[in-house]
Amino acid sequence: MSHILQGFAEAVKMIFGRDAELYRIALVSIRVSSLSTFLASAAGLPAGFFVAFHTFPGRRVLITILRTLLALPTVVVGLFVYSLLSRSGPMGGMRLMYTQTAMVIGQFILAFPIVTMLTLSALSGVDRRVAPTAVSLGATPFQSNLAILREGSFAIMAAMVAGFGRVFGEVGVSMMLGGNIRHYTRNLTTGIAFQTSRGEISLGLGLGIMLLTVALCINVLLHFLEERTSRSTD
């Protein structure tokens, strides 16, 4: 027990002492997860909007597939992308394996169904009379769509935050596609696994504390957005 407390104390010192290795690893996590969430939101928000307000053949099947992908294991995503980006794969010539770009691709696949389904859920609860009312007041189709998005804005932001939370704490994709390369693809989750395997408990705990801190901030933000959403619908 004493070595755990000692490691925890050293981890706190490293955090407040702005240890370069610690913060460099954290920066990789933030950079990769932010970019993958941005791309997933850019694709997922329009997709969720389209599915919510359009009827087309196969719509129910598509929704079922998206729901299934919500629980997609990270190692399965890692294996799928690895088979595409490896030298023997169809995209092997691009030499993306063990790069931050490969990690972004994998995390995008993880975040996309979450952002899409939560956006679909948020917009499904929007009053269907918003768009016709906006058009009757002289709004263009684009402006009426903006009015719909404004009605579900807090829930949509919650979808984006949930997507970020999903990819920020994953380890399978980052390890398989990034390779845990120091100063390049090593992030908080792969760093924790690596440092623990080496017996570097203090650095591992420091990374764990930073990961938990970000997770706490994400949950606080989600709670705030959910409260705002419930108030706006009352």
- Mind spelling out the 3-state secondary structure of 177-212? HHCCCCCCCCCHHHHHHHHHHHCCHHHHHHHHHHHH
Q: What percent of the chain has pLDDT over 90?
A: 54
pLDDT at 5 over 80: no
Contact between 130 and 148 (Cβ < 8 Å): yes
Averaged pLDDT for residues 127-149: 71
Give the residue from 52, 44, 177 showing the smallest Cα distance to 125. 52
Contact between 94 and 138 (Cβ < 8 Å): no
Q: Hey, what CATH topology would domain 1-232 get? A: MetI-like fold (1.10.3720)
Residue position matching structure tokens 């924790």 = 192
Which of these ranges, 65-74, 77-86, 122-131, 201-210, has the smallest mean pLDDT?
122-131
Instruction: Pull the structure tokens for residue 161.
Output: 């935050």
Q: What pTM does this model have? A: 0.88
Contact between 77 and 173 (Cβ < 8 Å): yes
10 DSSP 8-state letter: H
Averaged pLDDT for residues 75-93: 95
**What per-residue confidence (pLDDT) applies to 19?**
81
Instruction: Pull the structure tokens for residue 191.
Output: 């760093």
Radius of gyration over every alpha carbon of the chain, rounded to an integer in angstroms = 21
Greater pLDDT, 225 or 47 = 47
**What per-residue confidence (pLDDT) applies to 234?**
56
What is the residue extent of each domain of the chain?
Answer: 1-232
Greater pLDDT, 221 or 230 = 221
CB atoms within 10 A of CB 104: 25
pLDDT band for position 131 (50/70/90)? low
Which of these ranges, 24-38, 131-145, 150-164, has the smallest mean pLDDT?
131-145
**What per-residue confidence (pLDDT) applies to 232?**
59
pLDDT at 92 over 70: yes
pLDDT at 233 over 60: no
**What per-residue confidence (pLDDT) applies to 75?**
94
Greater pLDDT, 126 or 54 = 54
Cα–Cα distance measured from residue 116 to residue 128, given in angstroms and rounded to the nearest whole number: 19
Instruction: Pull the structure tokens for residue 167.
Output: 């990819």
